[in-house]
Amino acid sequence: MEYFLNEQQKAIKRLARTIAEEKILPVRAELDEREEFPWAIMKDLADADMFGVFIPEEYGGVGEGCLALCLVVEELSRVCSSIAISFAASALGSLPLIMYGTEEQKRKYLSDIVCGKRLAAFALTESTAGSDAGAIKTTANQVEGGYILNGTKQFITNGGEAEIYTVIALTNKGKGTRGASAFLVEKDTPGFSFGRKEKKMGIRASSTRELVFEDCLVPEENMIGRGGMGFIMTMIVLDCSRPGIGAQAVGLAQGALEAAVDYAQQRIQFEHPIISIQAVQHMLADMDIQLEAARLMVYAAARTIDSGARNFTEESAMAKVFASDMAMRVTTDAVQIFGGVGYMRDYPVEKMMRDAKITQIYEGTNQVLRNVIASELRKRNAMRE
């Protein structure tokens, strides 16, 4: 399949694959078992300038945008999506800054993010505000010189490991989604601490943690964008980042498919490799078809974003939903093709199936995203009437 990648994009993809195979493959099972954050790999990615692929050139990045980010996430996920999401979550944490930050904020914070010196994270979700993101309760009350943050964020990817956090909090409680604002909060800020570290089904080498704000003073100049625009900025940022979750799902499924084909060629039953059985061939063919369709949707959504299009809510949500549902099916079928041994931790498909589940849940559950897609359909229909 020709993906029409330019030379730069092809080089980025190749480099990400090399890092994944040389550095990640030997340690992925151990990091998963120990639930250990992949700091050494983050360093390898930093040394290879991977943290800058999507960051504009004027801030030290490569400036290749969303598609390049997706290519890196895909290649890392082909080997380990838990390490890939630690990388991708830093990109999500820095997107509000890139898209809405002041020149001064960008110069101050992107210089450390672009070289991988400091990781970023994005903090929206709370215990009572998951799919209903507008129901956040964390407050940011204006005082002289800044804002006092109070509240607890839940399930924050890179929580505790990142040093720069984009935090969404209410600056005007009575105004609903129009009362939220975005803030940059640094790790060592007094009043900012970390709570429970989650024990997860999959992506176990990534950190998922609570952020606790208790009378945490954030300087005025750390507000990102205009006050009251935090929710809308969040929606647009998530529209930009969801193809990255699609890419995670595509990479994960690619790894599972390759493992399943290898195994089906080696495994002898009834005196023949099981790949000679038509039932197995059809499973593999369906996995391949679905995977390729998802990859094309993810690349198309990323290219739409990079083209400067104004609205890509639907393309982005469709790519994330389709790819993550596909990854759940493909990894489950890969375990099925492995049979009994596929269920054991000695083989990689067991981990891939566990890792796939979260792609249907985070950055918008697939149910909420279907609502979003339906709402876009209704808007388009209303415009035709």
Residues 64, 75, 350, 363: which is the catalytic one? 363
Q: Which residues in the 24-43 window bind ligand CAA by CB under 6 A?
A: none
Q: Does residue 363 belong to the site contacting ligand CAA (CB under 6 A)? A: yes
Q: Judge residue 144's burial from the number of C-beta atoms within 10 Å of its C-beta, 0-12 exposed, 13-18 middle, 19 or more buried.
A: exposed
Q: How far apart are CA 222 and CA 215, in angstroms?
A: 16
H-helix segments, the chain = 7-19, 28-34, 39-47, 65-79, 81-100, 103-105, 111-114, 230-266, 278-306, 313-338, 348-357, 366-384
Query: Which of the stretches 71-79, 131-139, 260-268, 318-326 binds ligand CAA when contact is defined by CB under 6 A?
Result: 131-139
Residue appearing with tokens 């210089």: 111
- CB closer to ligand CAA, 129 vs 300: 129
Q: How far apart are CA 307 and CA 202, in angstroms?
A: 34
Q: How far apart are CA 143 and CA 97, in angstroms?
A: 23
- Phi and psi angles of residue 179, each rounded to the nearest 5 degrees, phi first: -105, 10
Q: Does residue 313 belong to the site contacting ligand CAA (CB under 6 A)? A: yes
Q: Which DSSP helix (H) or strand (E) runs through 95?
A: helix 81-100
Buried b / exposed e across 69-99, counting CB within 10 Å, b at 16+? bbbbbbbbbbbbbbbbbbbbbbbbbbbbbbe
Q: Does residue 189 belong to the site contacting ligand CAA (CB under 6 A)? A: no
- CB closer to ligand CAA, 25 vs 361: 361
Q: Does residue 44 belong to the site contacting ligand CAA (CB under 6 A)? A: no
- Of the residues 25, 148, 368, 373, which one makes contact with ligand CAA according to CB under 6 A: 368
Query: Which of the stretches 27-35, 95-103, 340-348, 362-370 binds ligand CAA when contact is defined by CB under 6 A?
Result: 362-370
Distance in Å, CB of 38 to ligand CAA, minimum? 15
Q: Which residues in the 91-120 window bind ligand CAA by CB under 6 A?
A: 92
Q: How far apart are CA 180 and CA 136, in angstroms?
A: 9
- CB closer to ligand CAA, 134 vs 227: 134
292 is catalytic: no
β-strand pairing of 164-170 with 208-219: unpaired
Query: Which of the stretches 111-119, 179-187, 215-223, 231-239 binds ligand CAA when contact is defined by CB under 6 A?
Result: 231-239
- Of the residues 14, 34, 117, 178, which one makes contact with ligand CAA according to CB under 6 A: 178
Residue appearing with tokens 């080498």: 205
- CB closer to ligand CAA, 90 vs 331: 90
Distance in Å, CB of 91 to ligand CAA, minimum? 10
Contact footprint for ligand CAA (CB under 6 A): 89, 92, 122, 124-125, 131-134, 157, 177-178, 231-232, 235-236, 238-239, 313, 362-364, 368, 372
Residues designated catalytic: 363
